[in-house]
Structure formats: C-alpha cells, structure tokens
Amino acid sequence: MKKLSRTASSLLVSSLSLPGFTELLAAESEANNFQYRYTLYDEEPLPQNVLAQGDPDRYRIKSHQFRFEQDLNERFTLTVEGIHESMSGSSPWYVFPDPDRGPLQVMSGATISETRNEIGLTLGTQNNGVTHAFRGGYSTENDYDAVSAAYTGEYEQQNKHTTLSWGVSYSDDRLSPTDAELFGRIPHAERNSISASFGLTRILNRNALIQSGVQITHQDGFLSDPYKEMWINGGVFFDKRPDQRTAFSWTTRFRQYFVGSNAALHADYRFYDDDWSVTAHTLDLAWHQPFGENFELAPSIRYHSQRAANFYQPAITDGQQPKYWSSDYRLATYGAMRYRLSGTWRAEIWSLALNADIYNSSESLALSGPLFDTPALVDFWRISLGWQISWQ
C-alpha cells in the first residue's frame, strides 16, 4: 500500500517534531525498513577572554536514534522510533557586565552526565485516497517529561500532480529542575503547546518539484529557562519570560534535477515570526551529486539569521525594571552558518550515510536586529553515521 509519505512520518520522530509536510512521489510505496543513526555533537569551549566564572567546556551530546517501519497489512503501517541521548558539559548561566572587560559569560559548573530517552509510535492508514497517521510520543530525562500526540493527513490529487497535507499536534511538558532547593530554582513547572500545519506539494515538471506550507504554534505555561539567570542592576535573577508564545513559520522547499550531471539541487527557505518579536530567516542549499551507481556526495550550507526577542538583553545596569527578561543567547540577534558534507552509499536493500557539520554563529552574521555583545554564542561540530536496511 502507499505508506504515509516519508516526510510526514519522519517528521514525527521526536516530540520536537511536528506534523509538517509530506512528500509527493510518483507511485512510490516505501519498503519496510529499519534505520539507525549515531550522532556526536560537540560545542567549542567558551573563549577564555569572555569567561567570567565557571567551566568553559560546553555541551557534548551522543545520540542513538532508531526507526522501524512495517506494513501490518494492506491498509495499516506501524512505525516505532526512539532516541537515546547522553549529555554532559556546562551551560551559560548569565552575563556579568564587567566594567573594564565588557560583558563576560558566567558558566555553570560541569553537569553530571544526563540522559534523555524518547519513544514514538505511529499508526498510518489509508482510506479513499487519503492517508492518515496518528502518533503518540513520550520523552523523559531527569528534569523533564513530555507527552505528545499528533495527527497528520495527506491527499494526493493524481492528475493535478499536487498533494495536500495537514496536521495538528499537542504536547504536555513537565519540568522538575535539578538541585532546585540548592539554587532556589522553581521546583516544578508545566507548559503545553499546540500546533497546526498545512502544506502543498506540487510537481512543476519532469525535473522539479516544490513544497510550501505554514505552521502555527501556541505555547502556554512556564516558558522560561529554570537554569538561566540575568544580572539586573547588581543582583542576579532567574530568567523570566512571558507565559505565552505564538509562533508562525512558513517553509518552502524546492528540488531541481539536472539531467547532464544526474545531480539534484535542494533549496529550502523558512520564514519565522513570533509574538516575542523574534523574526528569523533560514536558507539551506544542498547539491546532491551521484558518482556511479551507488555513491552520492552532498555538500550543503545553511544560513540562519534571527533578531532578538523583545525582552532579551545580556545584562541590565541602567536601573530599568522590565516585566520580562532573559540573557539566554539563543534569544539574541545573530546569524549562523552551517557547513555540511554528506556521503551516502546505496545498494538495493541497504544504505549508509556519513555526515559532518561545522556550525559558527556570530552577531556580525545577522541580517538585521538590535545587536548586543553576546559572549555565549556557540560554535559546534557534529559527525553522524546512519544505516538503513529495507525489505518487502
């Protein structure tokens, strides 16, 4: 049977993924398959000249992902997926406005190794030319639990070469920050989030297709980071963000085939906007070049630019008393470049992929937005190895 398209089911992998957009492939039914991927993520240490205090060695994460997809019968497909991650390293706490040396980053002491586990189960089915998928997910780590549910649908109009897709999802998260009493952190908090998406995929001609869609998300509850703080007029206070956030994103993906070189160009653009005043543009360009029957090399670059949340500042020293505040560098104005090289080996029933990434972020790469000195902007490298086997 025609399975739920790869994109729709794959996009539901972690509770961080949502019903999004689906894939239009000519009469393609996916084989049953099992996939595994190992990823090593390593952040560059905080430079000594901007370190105020704490451990400069930042995050290192090792992840094991798996995914199993099997037709139960002609109408139903089951997908089971999971991730096991172990994390260690220190993270930024707050920015100290040193009167002589400028803004310096205070880091936490190195964390003990933590693990996160997530599992998701999806049931896909087809009825009258419409494909539906229902997913339930659960993610847990020592200070965070999340339960999620999602539904996606897809309808392919064969003659018009168009596929419509839609989805909704919901997530309920509970936080229990570690060492809450010791550091005066909030001991328990909750947040939930609901999201809806709609998209369209269209074949343009024999060599090209395009997909475009929108997503709206609304979050409610405790949205601050319980571990982060901010220097305000001589005192240090816990991160305080609004208790609601509404976000809009619009993503367009384009695929173009070149007959001469048997290569494919991928161009993806996402526009993001929310009511915290964050606006972001993200562009991902990749060139997929096959060599011979079984090997493909794909270099790609990803450019991301965001403008700061309206309550973001590194530190406050001028006597302001804002309603909300955060010194979290992830809410600052900055731009980032990610360089990637991927190599994939494909045979009829298996494939192996190796990906290497370098990511650099900097205030100077931002397109626009209020600029601050953000000492904690992170650089990282990532290496990842994936393997897949399929059967009828």
Partner 1 sequence: MTLKRCWTVLLLLTLIELSACAEVQPWERGRLAKPHMALDADPLLSSIDAHTYNSKEAASGGNGPAGGGCGCN
Partner 2 sequence: MLNSATRLFWTLLLWACLHLQALAVQPGGPAPGFELPRLDNGETIRLSDFKGKVVYVDFWASWCGPCRQSLPLYEDLQKRLPVGQFQIIAINLDEDRKDAEAFLKRHPVSYLILSDPEGISASAWSVPAMPTSFLVDSSGKIANIYIGFEPSHIGTIEHDIKALLDSTAASHPD
Under the rule (CB under 8 A), what is the footprint of partner 2? 1, 26-31, 74, 158-160, 293, 348, 392
**290 touches, from partner 1, partner 2, none (C-beta below 5 to 8 Å by class):** partner 1
Instruction: Among 4, 106, 150, 366, indicate the residue that binds partner 1 (CB under 8 A).
Output: 150
The H or E element spanning position 324 is: none
Confirm or reject binding of residue 216 to partner 1 (CB under 8 A): yes
CA 391 to chain CA centroid, Å, is 30
Nearer to partner 1, 102 or 208 (CB): 208
**236 touches, from partner 2, partner 1, none (C-beta below 5 to 8 Å by class):** none
Instruction: Among 182, 206, 235, 323, indicate the residue that binds partner 1 (CB under 8 A).
Output: 206
Binding mask 277-296 for partner 1 (x = CB under 8 A): -x-x-x-----x-x-----x
**31 touches, from partner 1, partner 2, none (C-beta below 5 to 8 Å by class):** partner 2
Confirm or reject binding of residue 240 to partner 1 (CB under 8 A): no
Amino acid identity, position 379: D
Amino acid identity, position 228: K
In this structure, which long-range contacts are made by residues 283-287, counting pairs with CB atoms below 8 Å and at least 24 apart in sequence? 286/340, 287/263
First to last CA, the chain: 11
Confirm or reject binding of residue 355 to partner 1 (CB under 8 A): yes
Mapped onto helix, strand or coil, the DSSP state of residue 8 is helix
DSSP state for residue 364 in the 8-state scheme: G
Which one of the spans 81-89, 98-106, 126-134, 232-240 is the region binding partner 1 (CB under 8 A)?
81-89
**List of residues 6+ apart from 312 with CB closer than 8 A:** 326, 327, 328, 331, 332, 372
Amino acid identity, position 240: K
Tell me if 189 sits within 8 A of 227, measured CB to CB: no
Residue 351: CB minimum distance to partner 1, A: 8
CA distance linking residue 214 with residue 162, whole number of Å: 16
Nearer to partner 2, 1 or 286 (CB): 1
Residue 75: CB minimum distance to partner 1, A: 22
Residue 346: CB minimum distance to partner 2, A: 13
Confirm or reject binding of residue 18 to partner 1 (CB under 8 A): yes
Which two structure tokens, joined as six digits, stand for 280?
């972001």
Residue 254: CB minimum distance to partner 2, A: 20
The DSSP string of 231-246 is: EETTEEEE-B--SEEE
Amino acid identity, position 89: G
Tell me if 314 sits within 8 A of 95, measured CB to CB: yes
Tell me if 285 sits within 8 A of 255, measured CB to CB: no
- Binding positions for partner 1, 161-200, rule CB under 8 A: 161-162, 169-173, 191-195, 197, 199-200
Confirm or reject binding of residue 67 to partner 1 (CB under 8 A): yes
- The 3-state DSSP composition of the chain as helix, strand, coil percent (nearest 5) reads 5, 60, 35
Confirm or reject binding of residue 215 to partner 1 (CB under 8 A): yes
Confirm or reject binding of residue 126 to partner 1 (CB under 8 A): no
Residue 28: CB minimum distance to partner 2, A: 5
Nearer to partner 1, 99 or 292 (CB): 292
